[in-house]
Amino acid sequence: SERYCVIGNPIAHSKSPDIHAAFALQTGQDMLYERCLAPLDAFDATVRALVAAGYGGANVTVPFKLQAADLADRLTERARAAGAVNTLIFNSSGGIIGDNTDGAGLVGDITRNAGVDLEGKRVLLLGAGGAARGAIVPLLAALPAELTIANRTVATADALVDRFTAQLAQDQRLAACAFENIAGPYDVVINATSASLADDLPPVPGSAFRAGTLALDMMYGKVPSRFMVFAGEHGALERDGLGMLVEQAAEAFLLWRGARPETAAILERLRQGV
């Protein structure tokens, strides 16, 4: 059976092996998927060793997504736009292709799992780092009326908006703003900052939300993030990043195995912790 893994540091708590094992079982695919702890200074050597050992590919997580983009011989368009890689495909000829399925996973979770159609909606994206970058093109492809990027360092959001607006033939739906200038309410608010990792709340005003706004945190944990709690207090529907995790995994599985798993039941089982 073909072997795959998820490379990160730390990696012990990754749920990806459970998710891919469930996908393999459901689709009847013969594959193994493991955790791989790469030393912080030896990501490249770790990947080369997997290629040499005949692995079919690997997922990449914190803190190696940028290094994975540098290492790949070829990047897909969406990986290049994100400037980051979460999925590596190892060719039979030894080449390494870098892709990024995070943005597609995010949009899939919003539209399929949460049942929110993004067409014509006002969408607010918090953060302008790697996680936010990967979400921009897939979000715009879902046809929102507006996609505003708010960031603590406004210049970073401005630069992102300038770059993507130029790349996308002067797409006028993108805007950048400071947290204090957020003019809500928005239909969907996505926390793509790393604030939740530090148990921090990005300085988003309560007026960003209305009753029924979908507030999605890309992070997930045992308890709701401060962003989710705050959004909930302002009437929003809270959603963590577990659905996005399952959906990005399904996209990677499709690339490697040519079959797309049904994610709904697997996500439900993960939520119940079984």
141 labeled binding residue: no
Greatest Cα pair distance, the chain, in angstroms, is 54
**Sign of the Cα pseudo-torsion (142, 245, 269, 229, in order):** negative
Residue number of the CB closest to ligand ATR reads 129
User: Is 131 near ligand ATR (CB under 6 A)?
Assistant: yes
Cα 9 to Cα 81, 96, 270: the distances in Å are 24, 21, 22
Three-class SS state of 236: coil
131 labeled binding residue: yes
DSSP 71-137: H-SEE-HHHHHHT--SEEEE-TTS-EEEE--HHHHHHHIIIIIS----TT-EEEEE--SHHHHHHHH
Residues 17-76 that bind ligand ATR (CB under 6 A): none
**Active-site pick, 65, 121, 122, 257:** 65
* Token digits of residue 63: 């803190």
Q: Considering the complex, what minimum distance in angstroms separates the CB of residue 259 from ligand ATR?
A: 29
Q: Considering the complex, what minimum distance in angstroms separates the CB of residue 82 from ligand ATR?
A: 10
User: Is 127 near ligand ATR (CB under 6 A)?
Assistant: yes
Among 152, 163, 173, 226, binds ligand ATR (CB under 6 A): 152
Is 222 a catalytic site residue?
no
220 labeled binding residue: yes
d(CA 109, CA 112): 6
Q: Considering the complex, what minimum distance in angstroms separates the CB of residue 191 from ligand ATR?
A: 9
Q: Considering the complex, what minimum distance in angstroms separates the CB of residue 106 from ligand ATR?
A: 13
* Token digits of residue 132: 């936010």
Q: Considering the complex, what minimum distance in angstroms separates the CB of residue 218 from ligand ATR?
A: 8
d(CA 101, CA 78): 8
User: Is 100 near ligand ATR (CB under 6 A)?
Assistant: no
Residues 180-219 that bind ligand ATR (CB under 6 A): 193-195, 200, 202
Among 27, 29, 156, 165, binds ligand ATR (CB under 6 A): 156
Residue 83 or 232: the one with the smaller Cβ distance to ligand ATR is 83
Q: How many CB atoms lie within 10 A of CB 265?
A: 11
DSSP 32-53: EEEEEE--TT-HHHHHHHHHHT
Q: Which residues are annotated as a binding site for shikimate?
A: 14-16, 61, 86, 102, 220, 248
- Site residues for ligand ATR per CB under 6 A: 127-132, 151-153, 156, 193-195, 200, 202
The residues annotated with a catalytic role in the active site are: 65
